[in-house]
C-alpha cells in the first residue's frame, strides 16, 4: 500500500528538491521494473538501479537540513528504526552473496570435469549429483531466510515526506533482493518429482524454442544436469555453454550485491553519525 503524504516540516527539503526528485525517479523506475519477468539481466539491472538509488540517499543524508532535522530528539527513535532496517538489509545481502559464491564455485567445478572429455560417466554423474546437492542446500538456505525474515520496514514518521521516502527506499531494496532470491532458488517443486519436473521442463523448452526466454540460466543448468542423471549420459555439448553463461550471470550478480552492500554500509554510517551527534 503506497503511503500517503502528510504536511512536512520546513526543516526537510521538499520533494521538488533536486536530490529528493532524483530519489523519486529511481524509486519509480524500480517499481515499474517489478512488473517484468525475473531474469538474471533484469535483476542485475535492478541491483544497479538500487546502487544509484542509495548513492542519492547518501547525498540526501549529507544535506545539513536533513542532518539537523533527523538529529532532533523526536526523530531519533525513527532514525534508530532505519538503522535496524539497514542491518536487516545487510544481513540478507550477505546471504545472497554467499549463495551466489557457493553456486559459482559449484559451476566452476563442473566446468572443469566437462572440459576433461575423457572422464568416465561414473565420475561425471558423481560431480553432477554433487552440484545438484549444492543447489538444494542453497535453495533451503534461501527459503529459510525468506520464511524467517519479515519485511518489516521502518515505521513512517507521518509528519515528514522525507521519512516516507526513506521508508519506500527500504521497501524497494528488500523487494529487489527478494526477487534475486527467487531467481537463484527458482520455483519450489515436490521433492519426489523434482528431477522429473526439471527434465520435463527442459524437454518442453526444446520443443517450443520460442518460449526459451521463460527459463533462466539457473533453471537451464539444473534441468540439463537432471537430464544427465536420468539418462545416465554424458550430456549435450550445449551444457558447457550453459555453464559458462551461468557463471557470467552469477559473477555479475555477485559484483552487484557487493557494490550494493558497500552503499548500504555508507548509509548506515551516515545514520549513525546523525544519531550520535
In a domain, 203, yes or no: yes
The gap from C-alpha 148 to its chain's centroid, in whole angstroms, comes to 17
Q: Tell me whether residue 13 is in a domain.
A: no
Per DSSP, the residues of 126-191 read HHHHHHHHHHHHHHHHHHHHHHHS---PPPP-TT-HHHHHHHHHHHHHHHHHHHHHHHHH-S---G
| pLDDT tens-digit profile, the chain (277 residues) | 333 333 344 445 555 568 888 999 999 999 888 655 678 999 999 999 999 999 999 999 999 888 888 778 677 777 888 888 899 999 999 999 999 999 999 999 898 888 776 556 778 888 899 999 999 999 999 988 888 765 555 555 555 677 778 888 999 999 999 999 999 997 654 333 333 344 444 444 444 443 444 678 999 899 989 888 887 666 667 888 899 999 999 999 999 999 999 999 999 999 898 888 7
Q: How far apart are CA 65 and CA 69, in angstroms?
A: 6
How many other C-beta atoms lie within 10 A of the C-beta of residue 64? 7
| Domain extent at residue 235 | 18-276
Q: Is 92 part of a structural domain of the chain?
A: yes
Rounded Cα gap, residues 15 and 196, in angstroms: 53
- Say if 50 falls within a structural domain: yes
The domain total for the chain is 1
| Residue among 220, 229, 225 at smallest CA distance from 201 | 220
Position 241 in a domain? yes
C-alpha cell at 133: 546437492
- Which helix (H) or strand (E) segment holds residue 44: the answer is helix 40-61
> Do the domain assignments include residue 7?
no
How far apart are the C-alpha atoms of 259 and 262, rounded to whole Å? 5
SS3 101: helix
Grid coordinates standing for 78? 525513527
What's the pTM? Answer: 0.81
Instruction: Give the residue from 111, 117, 151 showing the smallest Cα distance to 131.
Output: 111
In-domain check, residue 12: no
Q: Judge whether 191 lies within some domain.
A: yes
Amino acid at each position: 500500500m503506497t503511503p500517503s503524504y502528510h504536511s512536512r516540516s520546513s526543516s526537510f527539503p521538499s520533494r521538488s528538491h533536486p536530490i529528493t526528485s532524483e530519489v523519486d525517479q529511481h524509486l519509480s523506475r524500480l517499481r515499474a521494473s517489478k512488473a517484468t519477468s525475473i531474469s538474471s539481466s533484469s535483476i542485475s539491472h535492478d541491483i544497479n538501479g538500487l546502487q544509484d538509488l542509495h548513492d542519492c540517499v547518501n547525498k540526501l543524508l549529507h544535506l545539513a537540513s536533513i542532518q539537523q532535522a533527523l538529529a532532533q530528539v523526536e526523530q531519533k527513535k525513527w532514525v534508530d528504526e532505519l538503522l535496524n532496517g539497514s542491518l536487516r538489509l545487510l544481513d540478507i545481502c550477505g546471504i545472497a552473496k554467499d549463495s551466489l559464491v557457493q553456486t559459482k564455485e559449484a559451476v566452476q567445478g563442473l566446468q572443469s570435469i566437462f572440459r576433461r572429455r575423457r572422464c568416465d560417466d561414473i565420475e561425471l554423474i558423481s560431480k553432477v549429483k554433487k552440484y545438484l546437492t549444492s543447489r538444494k542446500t542453497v535453495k533451503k538456505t534461501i527459503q529459510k531466510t525468506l520464511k524467517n525474515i519479515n519485511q518489516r520496514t521502518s515505521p513512517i514518521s507521518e509528519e515528514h515526506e522525507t521519512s516516507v521516502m526513506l521508508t519506500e527506499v527500504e521497501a524497494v531494496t528488500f523487494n529487489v533482493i527478494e526477487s534475486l532470491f527467487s531467481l537463484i532458488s527458482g520455483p519450489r517443486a515436490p521433492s519426489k518429482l523434482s528431477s522429473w519436473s526439471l527434465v520435463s521442463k527442459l524437454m518442453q523448452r526444446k520443443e517450443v524454442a520460442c518460449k526459451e526466454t521463460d527459463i533462466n540460466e539457473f533453471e537451464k543448468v539444473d534441468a540439463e544436469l537432471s537430464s544427465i542423471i536420468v539418462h545416465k549420459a554424458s550430456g549435450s555439448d550445449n551444457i558447457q555453454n550453459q555453464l559458462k553463461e551461468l557463471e557470467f550471470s552469477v559473477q555479475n550478480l555477485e559484483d552487484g550485491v557487493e557494490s550494493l552492500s558497500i552503499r548500504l554500509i555508507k548509509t548506515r554510517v551516515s545514520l549513525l553519525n546523525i544519531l550520535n551527534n
